[in-house]
């Protein structure tokens, strides 16, 4: 056995322990990565070398860049190249100074010295802004793939890539994921298995070419959260952001949670009527968004974080336009499962690498046809949204006839409406909310005397006027 063979054998053993933080180069040498530093066994030049000689701070800035690539963008945001994850990371002045301290003998504590270092690095870093990658490029660990052409090449600091998927493509290019197939069918039924795979694939691309907001609806313990957990595991936590719908629409700084993310997950909505929809449409519509970091210049970019909402029901909306309704891709998770079973633990790690290969084919087809499986027409999406957000109106259409000569007691109405809501897995509205909604829809109420109340002793009851039950 040659020395190179021995090194490869040793490296393979180490990589098993270090997982994604270890990798083997073509020459058989081993890279052990940690944060922004790397050590390569068998390499003459060490990445973590110390710079102890430089002409001036400008020369130091240049030497630092050759060891640890960085840049300073036009919005005054620092970025460092992470060798472990093969991506650019957003950092601050303190990270920069710590990195300089790690790689040089420069004084990063003295006020005068660190000011000169920061200024020199800002100037040099502004000159080193990397190239913009194509929107069709998807990165799997250290490999970039063009989803439309199939071209593959290694990720480097030359391009501003920030969203690598933590899984490599399966070495044998398998595309069958039987465990995920079974789990997805249990969650949403056979008809929507393909849709879930399309959503996963769509979340890989750093653009928003198909204007959709994905909403997963159902009660507790029905698979919604587990699907999002699976997505985060596959996409990578650092590629996912989380916020609340109301907060997102009302706070200008909240938008930064979506910046340079592939996914934005939202939890239970609070059921207030949604009137501020313009930002939601911009976020999912390929429009320029002003991402405002505190104490930084306004950054205008197109959002590509796919919006995924997990909820029991949707809030009603005052926006009745096609532009709003056409965006909503609503998927029901109708079944309920036991918490005792860790369903995701049944998925072999290999299936995630297979999912990476499978997703490329699915995504290419999706971008060609530009519609999701079973999403329905715009009219069907509109009806689906209204049925999930304004289900009181649906109940009225199904069971009530307007008739000026009739009435229904509020107690009878509430009893039947709540029973129907429970049977159809809608949220349970309070009597106050029901009354308020009925009045907004133009129904009037009054008090009537009934001699049959209270065991024939008689009494008053509140009623809704001008309606009766359908036969």
Ranges of the chain whose pLDDT falls below 50: 3-4, 7, 15, 17-21, 26-29, 34-47
Asked if residue 81 and residue 29 are part of one domain, the reply reads no
Answer whether residue 149 is part of any domain.
no
Asked if residue 326 and residue 178 are part of one domain, the reply reads yes
Q: What are the b/e assignments for 399-422, b being 16+ CB within 10 Å?
A: bbeeeeeebbebeebbeebbeebe
- Residue 152 and residue 139: Cα distance in Å, rounded? 9
What is the tally of structural domains in the chain? Answer: 4
Region class of 314: left (phi > 0), else alpha (psi between -120 and 50), else beta = beta
DSSP secondary structure, 357-409, as one string: HHHHHHHHHHHHH-S-TT---HHHHHHHHHHHH-HHHHHHHHHEEEEEEEEEE
Structure confidence at residue 43 (pLDDT): 37
CATH number at residue 318: 3.40.50.300
- Enumerate the β-bridge partners of residue 217: 311, 332
Structure confidence at residue 400 (pLDDT): 95
Asked if residue 179 and residue 282 are part of one domain, the reply reads yes
Answer whether residue 134 is part of any domain.
no
Asked if residue 329 and residue 418 are part of one domain, the reply reads no
How do residues 422-459 score in pLDDT, each as one tens digit? 888 777 788 888 998 899 899 999 999 888 888 888 88
Range of the domain at 205: 154-386
Structure confidence at residue 31 (pLDDT): 55
Contact call for residues 206 and 135 (beta carbons, < 8 A): yes
Structure confidence at residue 99 (pLDDT): 97
CATH number at residue 443: 1.10.10.10
Mapped onto helix, strand or coil, the DSSP state of residue 78 is strand
pTM of the model: 0.82
Answer whether residue 280 is part of any domain.
yes
Strand runs labelled E in 423-458: 445-450
Answer whether residue 356 is part of any domain.
yes
* Length of the chain measured in residues: 471
Asked if residue 399 and residue 372 are part of one domain, the reply reads no
Asked if residue 109 and residue 94 are part of one domain, the reply reads yes
Structure confidence at residue 271 (pLDDT): 54
Structure confidence at residue 42 (pLDDT): 38
- Enumerate the β-bridge partners of residue 300: 290
Cβ contacts of 388 within 8 Å, gap of 6 or more:
215, 217, 313, 314, 330
Structure confidence at residue 425 (pLDDT): 73
Answer whether residue 97 is part of any domain.
yes
Answer whether residue 141 is part of any domain.
no
Domain stop point among 48, 67, 84: 48
Structure confidence at residue 3 (pLDDT): 47
Answer whether residue 145 is part of any domain.
no
- Residue 372 and residue 147: Cα distance in Å, rounded? 17
Asked if residue 257 and residue 404 are part of one domain, the reply reads no
Q: What are the b/e assignments for 291-315, b being 16+ CB within 10 Å?
A: bbbeeeeebeeebbbbbbbbbbbbb
- Residue 32 and residue 436: Cα distance in Å, rounded? 63
Asked if residue 187 and residue 158 are part of one domain, the reply reads yes
Asked if residue 394 and residue 335 are part of one domain, the reply reads no
Structure confidence at residue 436 (pLDDT): 87
**Exposed / middle / buried, residue 270 (Cβ in 10 Å: 0-12, 13-18, 19+):** exposed
Structure confidence at residue 21 (pLDDT): 47
Domain stop point among 362, 386, 410: 386
Asked if residue 285 and residue 250 are part of one domain, the reply reads yes
Asked if residue 24 and residue 93 are part of one domain, the reply reads no
- Pairing type for strands 445-450 and 459-469 reads antiparallel
Structure confidence at residue 303 (pLDDT): 96
- Residue 279 and residue 220: Cα distance in Å, rounded? 29
Answer whether residue 460 is part of any domain.
yes
Q: Which two tokens stand for residue 394?
A: 């649906």
Asked if residue 324 and residue 177 are part of one domain, the reply reads yes
Structure confidence at residue 218 (pLDDT): 84
Domain stop point among 112, 129, 146: 129
- Residue 393 and residue 398: Cα distance in Å, rounded? 9
């Amino acid at each position: 056995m040659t020395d190179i063979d021995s090194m490869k054998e040793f490296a393979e053993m180490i990589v098993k322990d270090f997982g994604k933080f270890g990798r083997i180069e073509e020459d058989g040498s081993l890279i052990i990565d940690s944060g922004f530093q790397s050590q390569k066994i068998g390499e003459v030049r060490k990445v973590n070398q110390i710079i102890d000689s430089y002409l001036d701070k400008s020369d130091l800035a240049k030497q630092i860049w050759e060891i640890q690539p960085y840049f300073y963008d036009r919005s005054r945001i620092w970025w460092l190249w992470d060798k472990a994850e093969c991506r650019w990371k957003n950092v601050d002045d303190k990270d920069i100074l710590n990195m300089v301290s790690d790689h040089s003998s420069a004084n990063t504590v003295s006020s005068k010295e660190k000011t000169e270092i920061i200024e020199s690095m800002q100037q040099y870093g502004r000159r080193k802004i990397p190239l913009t990658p194509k929107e069709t490029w998807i990165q799997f660990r250290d490999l970039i793939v063009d989803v439309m052409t199939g071209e593959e090449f290694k990720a480097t600091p030359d391009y501003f890539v920030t969203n690598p998927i933590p899984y490599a493509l399966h070495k044998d290019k398998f595309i069958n994921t039987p465990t995920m197939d079974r789990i997805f069918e249990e969650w949403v039924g056979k008809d929507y298995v393909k849709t879930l795979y399309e959503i996963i694939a769509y979340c890989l691309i750093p653009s928003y070419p198909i204007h959709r907001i994905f909403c997963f609806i159902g009660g507790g313990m029905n698979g919604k959260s587990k699907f999002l957990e699976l997505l985060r595991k596959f996409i990578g936590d650092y590629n996912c952001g989380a916020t609340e719908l109301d907060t997102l629409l009302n706070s200008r700084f909240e938008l930064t949670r979506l910046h340079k993310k592939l996914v934005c997950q939202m939890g239970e909505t609070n059921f207030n009527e949604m009137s501020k929809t313009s930002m939601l449409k911009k976020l999912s519509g390929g429009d320029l968004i002003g991402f405002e970091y505190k104490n930084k210049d306004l950054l205008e970019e197109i959002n590509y974080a796919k919006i995924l909402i997990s909820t029991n029901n949707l809030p009603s909306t005052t926006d009745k336009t096609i532009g709003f309704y056409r965006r909503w891709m609503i998927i029901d998770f109708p079944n309920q499962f036991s918490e005792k079973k860790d369903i995701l633990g049944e998925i072999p790690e290999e299936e995630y690498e297979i999912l990476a290969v499978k997703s490329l084919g699915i995504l290419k087809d999706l971008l060609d046809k530009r519609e999701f499986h079973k999403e329905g027409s715009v009219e069907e999406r509109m009806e689906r949204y209204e049925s999930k957000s304004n289900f009181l109106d649906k109940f009225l259409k199904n069971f009530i006839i307007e008739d000026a000569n009739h009435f229904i007691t509020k107690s009878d109405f509430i009893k039947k409406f709540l029973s129907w809501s429970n049977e159809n897995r809608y949220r349970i509205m309070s009597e106050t909310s029901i009354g308020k909604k009925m009045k907004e829809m133009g129904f009037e109420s009054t008090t009537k005397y009934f001699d049959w109340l209270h065991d024939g002793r008689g009494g008053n009851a509140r009623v809704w006027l001008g309606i009766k039950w359908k036969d």
